[in-house]
């Protein structure tokens, strides 16, 4: 018989607060057109993106995360000292070690929390949320800060007509804590490594180091049509599985917050899922671009701030991207 004592966590977990930070510089499509042969009409028709935010040298991954985290903590009514773990999802923190989560934890005033980074691309927020839920339920932390943050402008090839217009910068954060009722559903997540070449860094860091100085800095590249088909057809199935796992139907939803990759993908998923007219759909991509791990919390924060969604609404969130990886779950909005 095991001598290990049972966990003393909460029976359930929920998102208690959300915060976001968008860099001050707004970049229009006209700026993008200075380096690629395209048009504003083409960019909008292909992606739905009109503007995106690019970070200044001072708006680092850590600095943006600290700003978003402060808003999330205030929204949740939780002090930094109560945070037991900090989970950061990012692919654009350029120090291999230490994890940027440790710096963020220190800067917000958390006291010796567990702190670590994860790399799950555009599904990173869903991965972090799932880990946070587990920590709260098992009792390893009473409150967990989950951050999705990217400076994708650092990894954008401005001469690549297929991707130059897609990416933006920003940070989104949520506080996860105890709940008396289910408020974060089961996560449907996974990976399809046989498709890992469809979204990738152009040059590995070690190869970049060994080449001459004329080598272009590594950037993110993708096979647009392959990614589009996968996202539209396969991710709609995953989204439906998340609804089934939560024991609800599309009719029970109030809000749909997909990864803000592309407006065409979002609209196609809405159609495939047959979402009712009453469901509010996040379309933050139009003015924020694709911010990878930050896109879902940023979109969630904007919906709540503008009144398009309200506290207590039932929302389906799904992230998908490089790997190819994905994560979907149903949550109650803070």
Give CA–CA dist 292/232, Å, rounded: 17
Q: At what angle do helices 124-138 and 295-306 cross, to 10 degrees?
A: 80
> With 0-12 CB in 10 A as exposed, 13-18 as middle and 19+ as buried, what is 212?
exposed
- Is the CB of residue 14 less than 8 Å from the CB of residue 175? no
Give CA–CA dist 259/265, Å, rounded: 9
Give CA–CA dist 240/159, Å, rounded: 37
The verdict on whether 122 is a catalytic residue reads yes
- HSE-CB at 52 with a 13 A cutoff on CA atoms is 32
- Is the CB of residue 315 less than 8 Å from the CB of residue 253? yes
What proportions of the chain, in percent to the nearest 5, are helix, strand and coil?
40, 25, 35
Among residues 294, 330, 327, the alpha carbon closest in space to that of 131 is found at 327
β-strands 143-151, 169-179 pairing: antiparallel
Structure tokens at 44: 């909008």
The verdict on whether 259 is a catalytic residue reads yes
- Is the CB of residue 69 less than 8 Å from the CB of residue 105? no
Fill in the DSSP letter of residue 231: I
Give CA–CA dist 120/103, Å, rounded: 20
- Is the CB of residue 117 less than 8 Å from the CB of residue 101? yes
Backbone angles phi, psi at 146, to 5 degrees: -110, 125
Catalytic residues: 122, 259, 290
């Amino acid at each position: 018989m095991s001598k290990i004592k049972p966990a003393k966590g909460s029976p359930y977990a929920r998102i208690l607060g959300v915060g976001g930070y968008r860099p001050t510089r707004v970049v229009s499509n006209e700026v993008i057109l200075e380096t690629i042969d395209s048009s504003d009409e083409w960019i909008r028709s292909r992606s739905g993106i009109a503007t995106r935010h690019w970070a200044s040298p001072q708006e680092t991954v850590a600095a943006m995360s600290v700003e978003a985290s402060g808003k999330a903590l205030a929204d949740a009514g939780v002090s930094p000292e109560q945070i037991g773990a900090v989970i950061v999802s990012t692919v654009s923190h350029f120090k291999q070690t230490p994890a940027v989560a440790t710096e963020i934890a220190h800067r917000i005033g958390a006291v010796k929390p567990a702190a670590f980074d994860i790399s799950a691309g555009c599904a990173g927020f869903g991965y972090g949320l799932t880990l946070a839920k587990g920590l709260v339920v098992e009792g390893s932390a009473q409150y967990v800060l989950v951050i999705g943050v990217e400076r994708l402008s650092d990894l954008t090839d401005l001469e690549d007509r297929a991707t130059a217009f897609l990416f933006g910068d920003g940070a989104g954060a949520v506080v996860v804590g105890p709940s008396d009722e289910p408020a974060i559903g089961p996560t449907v997540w996974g990976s399809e490594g046989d498709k890992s070449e469809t979204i990738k860094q152009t040059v590995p860091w070690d190869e970049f180091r060994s080449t001459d100085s004329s080598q272009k800095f590594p950037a993110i590249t993708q096979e647009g049509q392959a990614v589009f088909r996968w996202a539209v057809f396969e991710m709609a199935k995953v989204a439906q599985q998340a609804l089934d796992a939560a024991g609800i139907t599309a009719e029970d939803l109030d809000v749909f917050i997909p990864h803000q990759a592309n407006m065409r993908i979002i609209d196609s998923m809405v159609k495939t899922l047959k979402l009712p007219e009453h469901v509010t759909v996040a379309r933050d991509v139009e003015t924020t671009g694709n911010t990878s791990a930050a896109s879902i919390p940023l979109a969630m924060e904007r919906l709540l701030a503008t009144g398009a969604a309200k506290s207590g609404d039932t929302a389906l969130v799904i992230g998908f991207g490089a790997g190819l990886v994905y994560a979907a779950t149903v949550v109650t909005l803070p």
